[in-house]
Amino acid sequence: MTTIADQLSLAQEQIAQSAAVVGRNPSDITLLAVSKTKPAAMLRDAYQAGQRHFGENYLQEALEKQQELADLAITWHFIGPIQSNKTRPIAQHFQWVHSVDRLKVARRLSEQRPAELAPLNVCLQVNISDEASKSGASADEVKQLAREIDRLDNLRLRGLMAIPMATRDPGAQRAQFAKVKKLFNELKSEFSDIDTLSMGMSGDLDAAIAEQSTMVRLGTAIFGARK
Ligand SMILES: *Cc1c(COP(=O)(O)O)cnc(C)c1O
């Protein structure tokens, strides 16, 4: 039987191999375990195997797991679409948000971030393929949004997140990630805190790492398929 610990070490090996191919240091790539729909017991197993960063998409589900796992020093990342009337619990209960794509949401997160907590780490979600169905700011909107978010007191702008159009063609995956990388490097030259490029999932990990990803978000590869 393969355990979560086995799957995690396989994932770490794959990250190390993908990094080696392009001459990168694997320690520059953080593994975010995406645990949506998976029970708290599986997250606990992953934690016991050394995993610290967990990503959740659905607020209510995430809050329930956080209560069950309150004894663990987990860093929680919110990576799902954000409804603007649900920002307060996100501002209160997460350390990172990857899916900020409009100023209204950013302002609310900043206003609602409790004063006793460190600023909320934020990645802007960019919609690189401009698919109408996907959330994310367009590449054109991202820089202006970054400038506005940079002024908000309780947010710390860390970088970009992207979910490219699904394709199995590695060349097409890289082409999309390359566009995000270009935007990332432009932002980096303008904002000193920018250090996070959140891209790469179970099906496009190699391409993302080849294009400078610093945080890969793996669900299926660690926890198995979702229903
Ligand atoms: C579900 C999800 C993932 C993980 O996807 P897998 O294909 O299971 O690795 C990563 N990022 C986001 C934003 C997700 O919603």
Domain limits of the chain?
4-218
Instruction: Reduce the DSSP state of residue 70 to 3 states and report it.
Output: coil
Q: Report CA 212 to chain centroid distance, whole Å.
A: 14
Mean pLDDT of all residues in 69-73 = 98
Long-range contacts of range 199-204, CB-CB < 8 Å, 24 or more positions apart? 199/160, 199/161, 199/162, 199/163, 199/164, 201/34, 201/163, 203/166, 203/168, 204/164, 204/173, 204/177
Name the closest-CA residue to atom 4, ligand 1. Answer: 219
Q: Does the pLDDT of residue 206 top 70, yes or no?
A: yes
219 lines ligand 1 (CB under 6 A): yes
Using the predicted structure, report yes or no on whether residue 88 has a pLDDT greater than 80.
yes
| Res. 131: pLDDT tops 70 | no
Q: How confident is the model at residue 193 (pLDDT cuts 50, 70, 90)?
A: very high
In 163-212, the DSSP E strands lie at: 196-198
Average pLDDT of the segment spanning 29-40: 98
Q: Evaluate if residue 148 carries a pLDDT over 80.
A: yes
Ligand 1 mean position, distance from CA 199 (Å): 10
The rounded distance, in Å, linking the Cα atoms of 213 and 221 is 17
Ligand 1 pocket: which of 34, 35, 160, 199 to mutate (most atoms within 8 A of CB): 34
Token duo for residue 215: 């945080």
d(CA 67, CA 125): 27
Among 126, 128, 201, 223, which is best to mutate for testing ligand 1, by the most ligand atoms less than 8 A from CB? 201
Question: Which pLDDT band, with edges at 50, 70 and 90, does 1 fall under?
Answer: confident
Which atom number of ligand 1 is nearest to the Cα of residue 57?
15
pLDDT for the residue numbered 30: 98
Q: Tell me, what's the pLDDT at 2? A: 82
Mean pLDDT lowest among 31-35, 90-94, 167-171 = 167-171
Give the per-residue pLDDT at 200: 97
Distances (CA, A) of 150 to 78, 159, 218: 19, 11, 28
CATH topology of domain 4-218: TIM Barrel (3.20.20)
149 in ligand 1 pocket by Cβ < 6 Å?
Answer: no
Q: How confident is the model at residue 41 (pLDDT cuts 50, 70, 90)?
A: very high
Tens digit of pLDDT for each residue in 160-180?
999 998 899 999 999 999 999
Instruction: Name the residue of 198, 217, 227 whose CB sits within 8 Å of the most ligand 1 atoms, as the mutation to test its pocket.
Output: 217
Q: Cβ(134) to ligand 1 under 6 A?
A: no
